[in-house]
Amino acid sequence: MDTHLQDIYDVVLRRNPGESEFHQAVLEVFESLAPVVRKHPEFAESKVLERLCEPERQIIFRVPWVNDAGEIEINRGFRVEFSSILGPYKGGLRFHPSVNLGIIKFLGFEQIFKNALTGMPIGGGKGGSDFDPKGRSDREIMAFCQSFMTELYRHIGEYTDVPAGDIGVGGREIGYLFGQYKRITNRYESGVLTGKGLGWGGSLVRKEATGYGTVFFADEMLRSRGDSFDGKRVVVSGSGNVAIYAVEKAQQLGARVVACSDSGGYIVDEAGIDLELLKELKEVHRERISTYVERRPSATYVADGSIWDVECDIALPCATQNELDEDAAVTLVKNGVRVVAEGANMPSTPSATRVFSDAEILFAPGKAANAGGVATSALEMQQNASRDSWTHEYTEERLAGIMRGIHERCAASADEYGAPGNYVVGANTSSFVQLAEAVLALGVI
């Protein structure tokens, strides 16, 4: 970084102590911006970066609820409304015991740039709670969601802030949250949440969108070099919503997906992942990935190992932040990986990203590759606003077009700022310029 950017980053560190994930997300963007700041001195003069690094609003609240044993439990809720410079705050809710303010801020900061890349009129935000839905009954999850929304409702709205799902928040949780919002406000405001059920305001392809979009982006990188997914060996980390539909689209494009994982370990199935079995285990029964091998003789299970030890042509990290470190990156490169596309938010550590860059691996950062989820959320908002419902084919076509557009923007911006083929630079510079121009246009607010 040049001196000006380093000075701003030092202030971010001082004002946000202990928030390592947020620091990492800011640094990752700043490392790309020196040529932009040189070309546009007006951005520095107007303190655009300083404004973008400070959330417009940070909300922290208590979430009391009663479990099945009749005991009172207390969790902490968060909503960081980071930037509305391009539109209403838009970003998911994460329910996981690791959630804290620093993680929500890193996710919200990433969301600003990701949402800008989509070309949709949406700002960036993120929220969640340290509540752990694993092992909870439906009644307990409903009780928690209702208590959470009893505070959150006053801060959101279809023209203000539109949450969606994330880790630990799927269709069930969105349903309970939306029901409580409707009950409190006495309004059927469909556009206040996305990821809704198809029968009550949801959109086709929304469930699949993040995983599909990641594969669409990776396919565009391959196509730009005269290649494709056909016949490629693919490894996908995770086995949640993003991972399942990344597996599905990769298989549809002719790839053989041989491994996926959860927090306990990973499976390898040389015959190719049985997608219907994976969906049944994870979406219907909510079981551990280890049970896959009980029904699939061709598969093996490795407990507590690294899925990145499995040889592959294409790696799709779709689990969580910082899951792919430098050692894993070195192993992937040694084993012949050619493409890495991030389905999760910031799953590769900075040192891992450098390994991929040095080895000239095609690498797609999450803010570009996994933007399909929030893009389709914006399409859901469009359908809600017009009281319309689109077909699966039309919606998937829109998603594919958006991902092509993001790829084109990233590639063009990387070329413009002297880093051809570097999608990290392309994503950061393209989105930052759009945000910075909007900040200047709207004045000091």
Write down the H helix ranges in 89-136.
Answer: 101-118
Quick one: how far is CA 362 from the chain centroid? Answer: 19
Q: Around Cβ 188, how many Cβ atoms within 10 Å?
A: 11
Condensed to tens digits (0 to 9), the pLDDT of residues 371-387 reads 999 999 999 999 999 99
Model pLDDT for residues 297-314, shown as the tens digit of each residue: 899 999 989 999 999 999
Rounded CA Rg of the chain: 21
CA distances from 193 to 181, 185, 219, 338 (A): 10, 14, 30, 37
| Assigned token pair, 63 | 């979430």
Q: Is 279 a catalytic residue?
A: no
Question: Domain limits of the chain?
Answer: 55-189, 209-364
What residue spans of 326-371 are helical by DSSP H? Answer: 326-334, 350-358, 366-369
Instruction: Check if the beta carbon of residue 236 is closer than 8 Å to that of residue 318.
Output: yes
Q: How many CB atoms lie within 10 A of CB 382?
A: 15
- CA–CA dist 38, 184 (Å, integer): 50
User: What CATH number does domain 55-189 carry, 3.40.50.300, 3.40.50.1970, 3.40.50.10860, 3.20.20.80?
Assistant: 3.40.50.10860
55-189 and 209-364, same CATH topology: yes
Report the alpha-carbon distance of residue 438 to residue 271 in Å, rounded.
50
In angstroms, the CA 356 to CA 230 distance is 22
CB contact at 8 A, 19 and 106: yes
What does the pLDDT read at residue 286? 87
Q: What is the reported pLDDT for 2?
A: 87
Tell me how long the chain is: 445
Q: pLDDT value at position 160?
A: 98
Q: Which one of 126, 207, 282, 367 is the catalytic residue?
A: 126
Beta strands in 242-342 (DSSP E): 256-262, 265-269, 299-303, 314-317, 339-341
* Alpha carbon distance 250, 414 (integer Å): 26
Residue 304's pLDDT is: 85
Q: Report the predicted TM-score, pTM, of the whole model to 2 decimal places.
A: 0.94
Number of helices (H) and strands (E), helices first, in the chain?
Answer: 18, 12
The one-letter amino acid at 398: R
In this structure, the number of other CB atoms found within 10 A of the CB of residue 336 comes to: 10
Q: Which residues of the chain have pLDDT under 70?
A: none
Token readout for 185 is: 């406000």
CATH class assigned to 209-364:
alpha beta
Among residues 213, 193, 200, 309, the alpha carbon closest in space to that of 261 is found at 309
